[in-house]
Amino acid sequence: MRRALALAQQAALDGEVPVGAVLVQGDRIIAEGANNPVAAHDPTGHAEIVALRAGGLALGSYRLTDTVLYVTLEPCIMCAAAIIHARVRRVVFGAFDAKAGAAGSFTDVFGLQGLNHRVDVFGGVLADDSAALLSGFFAARR
């Protein structure tokens, strides 16, 4: 999670909303990502999506089985759906997102019945650090 926070800090320096993600398989990092929708002119440029894309390339498959995704902010609906589709085993996130979080704060995409894959989700890891980074970023822009 600390590496994800470092990626989020770099995103903030680049003028992006500070969110970072790290995809791990076993004990090694296989991919990472930071928010980049502004620079990439891509509405799907969330840290999770960037990390999932890089993970697919690293593993040579869109199925990222037996991986854990660490992300500094609770995934949104788009990212939660992509995580499920990629067959990620577990998501560990930092700050909860009452306005857009799809792991239980706003809605719970991971808990939808009828899905063919279940993701283990655990939130609140280094939540204060993640939330402070986000609060500071938005306070500086007001």
Put residue 126 in one of left, alpha, beta given phi > 0 → left and psi -120 to 50 → alpha: left
74 counts as catalytic: no
Phi/psi of residue 126, nearest 5 degrees? 55, 35
Q: Which residues contact 80 (CB under 8 A, 6 or more apart)?
A: 102, 103, 109, 110
Phi/psi of residue 121, nearest 5 degrees? -125, 135
Which of 16, 32, 48, 74 is an active site residue?
Answer: 48
Whether 96 and 106 have beta carbons less than 8 Å apart is answered as: no
Catalytic residues: 48
